Structure 1
Amino acid sequence: METQRQTSHLSPQASETIDLTKLKTIFRGNWIWMVLILAVINSIAYLTVRYTKNLYESSSEVKLDIKKEATEFGIKSAMEDQSVNLISGEIELIESRLFLSRVLDSSHLNVSYFSVGRVLNDELFNNTPFVVRYVAANESVFNVPIYFEELNEHEFSVHVGDNGKETPGRYNDHLTLSGVDLVFERNPNFAKGDEIGYFFVLNSREYLLDYLLRNLTAEPLNLNANTVRIAFKDNNPFKAHAILNKIDSIYLNYSNEQKNLANKQKIDWVSHELVNIERKMEDYEDYFENFTLQNKTNDLDADLKITVAAINKLDSQRYEISQRIVDAATLMDGLRSDNLFVSLSQRNSLPPSVSKNLEQLENLFLDQEKLKLSYNEVTFAYRQRQKEIETLKEKAYHQLDELKTVWTKRLQEINKKKLRLEHEFVNIPDKSTQFSKNLRFYKLYEQFYLSLMQSKSEFEIAQAGSIPDFKILSPATMPHTPISPNRMMVTAVGFVASIILILFFVGVLYLLNNKITTLQDIERIHNIPVLGVVPSSRHSNGQDLHVKDHPKSMVSEAFRTLRTNLDYFNAHGKKKVIAISSTVSGEGKSFIALNLGGVMALSKKKVILLDLDMRKPKVNLPVKIDDNSKGVSTILIRKNTWQECLASTALSNFDYIPSGPHPPNPSELLLNGEFEDLVNDLKQHYDYIILDTPPVGLVTDGIMAMKRADISIYIFRADYSKKDFITNLNRIVTINKFSNITTLLNALPSTGEQSYGYGYYEEPTRRPWLKKIFSSS
């Protein structure tokens, strides 16, 4: 529990607000991607507008009204009440393939002419360089572009598709192309523009019908006023206007014609049905007359009742005899299996002689069972009794068989008699049934006849009284402005979409960015002081002696500040061993150790730096190492003394001991007493001993070195170290109970608010203007 409380006390507090510094870092690090997103999305919007054909719409308004003057006669109209369904019915008529076929028949849309532009192809309408007339034996070249090239005023060449064979031709002469006979007529009044070629398409009827259906729109404007808006869309405004004009003119005539045709068809159908019904009624009347003459009456119920009673009686007899036959068969089966049992009902249905023999046989079976108790089956008495049973059983079996045969013949006779009665039943009542059925149908036809007569009168009055009155309130308009694409809308949508995508991109990066970006991120750690900040510098490569090469830079001033801050941790001057550690490699631990030692050496202190990362020796350091086979690892196994492993740096008071060869057990080497003896011996010769430890987040060697140190500096690198590393530091402090640890933020961007007062030390340099924009506060 104590450990949990300490961990909770040391854990960083989550920020509930947006980290502006983190957001600014994301903008600064990904501004190229944001500019690219903005450019790509807006380029797509521009290309959409540039390479999308303009779509024009021509519209007209039609008023539909049918006056029903037939109601003045007081007769209810048989036509549908179009006050509710009038508009929907007319819209269906306008958009029907049957009506549009009429439009195609009166229009010249079989051939479409196009000009080939440098960007888009445009359809030419009523102003074409040539006119094509054709007679098609097949439709193999229909709906396929046929390219046309004029050679001179009299000759030209055509080819089907992009890779078709060139076919030469002359104006006003017949040209056969894939089974189609073509005649080209030149238009001398055509003015050529900047187009680079022409082609035409022979349209099939199905394609044209689909084209009209796809681009035609009919919708109600006012249900109470019965007004409909009709619109047609096309990429060519003149074509849209011409087709809609044709639709309006044909619609007025076609609609009236269709309505008159519907009424006429209704009247014709009713008249035809009336004639058929009259004939059927005459046939029924003749039937009734002949029936009365032949039967002298039309009531056969008495004969029907007698016949039904006789049939019922025969059915009862059939059932009784059938039951007797079944009983005889059952008794015969019992005789064969020596399991005879005669029920009372069976005994009553048998003749007395047969019944007596069966009763006697039952008694013999009982006596035989009693003999079995006193005699053996091979005795004379038992065999005598068995012989009597066999004789009587055979006699009874033959009697039952004869009875069964007699009853079977009797049953057949009854069945024949019943069939005869049923035949009479069918003949007698069928006449009455047929008469009733015919009478019922006659009455139904009579009612239907009267109903059709009334309907015919109503249809005729309705046809005479209906006056169609269709008015075009607004003729087809000539479109001047395309309805799509809406350039302003597409451009605005592209810009807004790019902004939204950039914000989404930044938001995702913000949520995915779990790195330490500001000093405040590590200042939230309780009970662990912050030693300072080392800003980033474009002069540093991470392994140079920066304080010597660039003494006036922001980084060098930051290290001087670190040296001063360390004096507060070493007020009595007894803390000589400083351990430099981090969670993972790449956080600048070695750079801090090297330059912190350098800045201490510049203050006339004698400093030595030990590379304890024996698993990964340092390379490219500003230190001259004569023999790589010597170092900390050889010192700890007593192979060399520390004096033999010293390497000099560019500063006179600053020495360096490399890690040496990679040992198989670096952790055990730091645990033995040799390491502690080495540190104690170095304390006698140097003012400060700096330990460059391995990353404590990867191996435990660094923890062992930190336990031997007077002060431990834990390095975090801005925009590199993850916030989870703070948790790792809390865990290390809690488990090892460190009280001499401090933190340092390395490579913090030295711009704006994060410069922390070091800006005046950096030499003025020119930066790209975009970086200035995204890095300014």
Structure 2
Amino acid sequence: SAQYIHYTLQSEFDINQNTLNYIDRQLDEVTQILNRFEQELEDYKLNKDILDLSREEQRYFQELVKYDNDRRKYELMLGSLADLEDYVLNVGEEKLLPPSLYLLEGDDFQRQTLKELYNMQMQRNRMLFEAKEEIESVQQLDEVIRLTKGNLLLYIRNTRTALNQKIEDVEGQIRDYEGLIRNVPRTQRDILNIERKVQVNEKLYLFLLEKRANTVIARAGIIPQTKVIEKARSLGVVRPDKLKILYGFIVGGLMVSFVIVFVRVMFYDRIENADQLKEVTHLPVFGEIIASEKAEENYVVVDSDPKAAITESFRTVRTNLEYLPET
């Protein structure tokens, strides 16, 4: 139980750490882009004259920044979907859950399906501790996992198509507002484009920082999903009980012996030898002739086989008769 709790807890920490690593990579990329645009903006301001924008042109600029920011977010979602698709295709025992940033906000179906996939992977790992992959229950679970992955991959493809459509719509809005700003002097228009890129990346940077902070906070709240109510106690060897088996065989042997003796005494009442015959009769007994298959085949068995046991029986009877007292 302790190992299982440690395993599930470590899985949660690994997921959290993977999320932090993913966000840090995105932050590094955005930081480099932001620094480049800020430097470009500063250099441009030093070399060019800047004109003031009218209120209407300023509104166009703000809308353009808004739609450009939406496009960047959709592109980030597309990247997350690509990473999620790669995870689903290559998921293994050491990689049960993807970074939480792969999940799209508000997408309950995606989150629930991934949770089911995680639970089935955990169940499969527990089953493999006690059985092999060839057993029917494991193969049935593998089939369910395969179907779940197929449904999730289809959903990812449909979501990617919807995001691409949104990006096309946003790009159409961006082109419209860029057309409205074309009347602004070229020098001012260039600096507006640079400022727009700076603001878009600043918002994306703040978005990633917020995600990172939430992930760090979530790490502090990670607790085991299971709890040991009562620790296992050892009562010694329960099975097999050697003494019980020994006593059982002894009693069984005695009972079988008693049954054999009882059957023999009650139903087996034939006389088998001369001594038994002497016990039940007062007549003199001179010997015994044993049963022999040779006697059935040859009536003069004494001549055909002088060394046979039945021949010795006849000799004994003859000898006893010779010593019979005369009357």
Length-normalised TM-score, structure 2: 0.39
Larger RCO, structure (CA 8 Å, separation 6 or more)? 2
Structure whose CA Rg is larger: 1
Higher fraction of helix: 2
Higher fraction of strand: 1
Length-normalised TM-score, structure 1: 0.17
